[in-house]
Amino acid sequence: MDRELKILVADDQPDVLEALRLLLRREGFEFVPAASPAGVLAALQEQDFDAALMDLNYTRDTTSGKEGLDLLSQVRAQDATLPVVVMTAWGSVEGAVEAMRRGARDYVQKPWDNARLLTTLRTQIELGRALRRSRRLEEENSRLRGNVPPLVAHASAMQPVLRLLERVGPSDANVLITGEHGTGKEVVARWLHQSSKRAGKTLVAVNAGGLSEGVFESELFGHVRGAFTDAKTDRTGAFELADGGTLFLDEVANMPMAQQAKLLRVLQTGEFNPVGSSKVKKADVRVIAATNARLADEVGQGRFREDLLYRLNTVEIHLPPLRERAEDIPHLAQHFLAQQAAKYGKALKGFHPDALEALVRHPWTGNVRELEHAVERSVLMARGDRIAAEDLFLSPGARRDAGQLYESMTLDEAERHLIQRALSRCAGNVSEAARDLGVSRSALYRRLQHHGLKAQG
């Protein structure tokens, strides 16, 4: 290495700091001490470091590690690429996992082994350098071309979705993405944005269903200074920020009717007024909305405006749950493994056969999001170079079984599930799906309308 490597070391025990100073300086590292969380944050403001070695327990809280975990989160917020190795005198699995969840790259237990500590630091410094180089390259490449996120979709149930995405992506059409929680609606929204002519502009994401009445207009349309008590400065709203680009509105079914009316006006005219201003602004925005609800049912029950639904669903894309695309589970697991192994600096080659079998048999009620979290946990817990079944910590006996699946459904849910599977098998062809289900074409159309489904393909 061409320069002295600088290590930030944080511990509130002077004898520990002195021991680490002697060890690290003997090995050629530049040693910068910090005796408190405040000292760590101050040092990060003043200098750049190659790595940080931090204790989890400080004088205000000497046993739980909470103070150190909170500090870890703050350090990651300041510099997400800084390799952080934590030290702890308590060796619980839960503590180590929580530290690595919050961004630590590795951990050592006190009293430490000198050789292991030095090896850990050098490894994480190299990985940190590689991550920083990768981030720079990503930023440079994203300026030259749109960074289209990968869609892992090999299952037959996903093929109609892919065909629809290919046709709709380059257009300016508003899109409504439906599907259960965790099916990847935001990933699809980002794919649509990056595959469009708006890819060089901003994608702004807003949880539309989570905004209270008081902040809805300010969040979407902005406000001017003095518009209300806490409006101390002007604020730019999401529509203005997304001008020329894409606005992703998540959980639109949860919007109150009054907010729906305000959103409809902007979608109809492209015009809006920041709160407290009479000035009319215009924004050229493509809207992609998402929901896990059946908006047709919400319209029928008077909870969602029909005219707003027609503005949002120029094209509707339904994402099947993971249980209907089980062929994708191994591919998705490998995809997440590569991401999480790079994130945590773990050299993992793949999954043992027993782990893959456990993944495929699991019910995944939380869909792709649950699978991603399970893989992340397994990366943290794995001790070998491959993920084993015990590293996954899946519920014993849980498996993807059709009988169990239908037992947990209402009659209406089971019918919808069967119709979706038939449409997926038949690439959206209603006539073929009707024959598979043993009903007439007109009867299937009535059921499609009842369930708020659309034939695709």
CATH topology (fold) of 322-400:
Helicase, Ruva Protein; domain 3 (1.10.8)
Indicate the residue type of 33: P
The 10s digit of each residue's pLDDT in 24-62 is 999 999 999 999 999 999 999 888 899 999 988 886 555
Res 146: pLDDT: 45
Contact 323, 330 (CB under 8 A): no
CATH topology (fold) of 6-141:
Rossmann fold (3.40.50)
CATH top class, domain 156-318: alpha beta
Res 441: pLDDT: 80
Alpha-carbon distances, residue 160 vs 181, 318, 420, 426 (angstroms): 20, 10, 12, 9
Report how far residue 149's alpha carbon sits from residue 21's, in angstroms, rounded to the nearest whole number: 44
Q: Which two tokens stand for residue 245?
A: 């680009």
Nearest-5° angle of CA 193, CA 251, CA 293? 110
Res 205: pLDDT: 93
Contact 298, 304 (CB under 8 A): yes
Q: Which two tokens stand for residue 15?
A: 């004898």
Alpha-carbon distances, residue 115 vs 6, 118, 119, 273, 381 (angstroms): 18, 5, 6, 63, 22
Which of 17, 294, 8, 43 shows the shortest CA–CA distance to 124? 8
pLDDT < 70 stretches in the chain: 1-3, 59-64, 90-96, 134-149, 396-410, 412-413, 424-427, 452, 454-457
Alpha-carbon distances, residue 78 vs 42, 84, 430 (angstroms): 11, 12, 54
**Residue limits of CATH 3.40.50.300 in the chain:** 156-318
Nearest-5° angle of CA 196, CA 200, CA 206? 80
Alpha-carbon distances, residue 133 vs 21, 85, 126, 128 (angstroms): 29, 20, 11, 9
Phi-psi region of 270 (alpha: psi -120 to 50; beta: other; left: phi over 0): left
**Residue limits of CATH 1.10.10 in the chain:** 403-451
Indicate the residue type of 103: G
Q: Coil, strand, or helix at residue 134?
A: helix
CATH topology (fold) of 403-451:
Arc Repressor Mutant, subunit A (1.10.10)
Provide Rg for the chain, Cα atoms: 26
Contact 343, 106 (CB under 8 A): no
pTM: 0.58
Q: Coil, strand, or helix at residue 208?
A: helix
Q: Which helix (H) or strand (E) holds 30?
A: strand 30-34
Which of 178, 190, 193 shows the shortest CA–CA distance to 285? 193
Q: Which two tokens stand for residue 397?
A: 């006996």
Which of 55, 138, 57, 69 shows the shortest CA–CA distance to 103? 69
Task: Give 263's Cβ-side CA count (13 Å radius).
Answer: 31
Res 145: pLDDT: 40
Report how far residue 336's alpha carbon sits from residue 333's, in angstroms, rounded to the nearest whole number: 5
Alpha-carbon distances, residue 295 vs 179, 392, 406, 407 (angstroms): 11, 36, 24, 25
The 10s digit of each residue's pLDDT in 62-105 is 566 788 888 888 888 888 889 999 887 765 556 667 788 888 88
Q: What percent of the chain has pLDDT over 70?
A: 87
Res 41: pLDDT: 92
Q: Which two tokens stand for residue 146?
A: 């749109």
Alpha-carbon distances, residue 412 vs 272, 445, 447 (angstroms): 41, 15, 10
Q: Coil, strand, or helix at residue 31?
A: strand
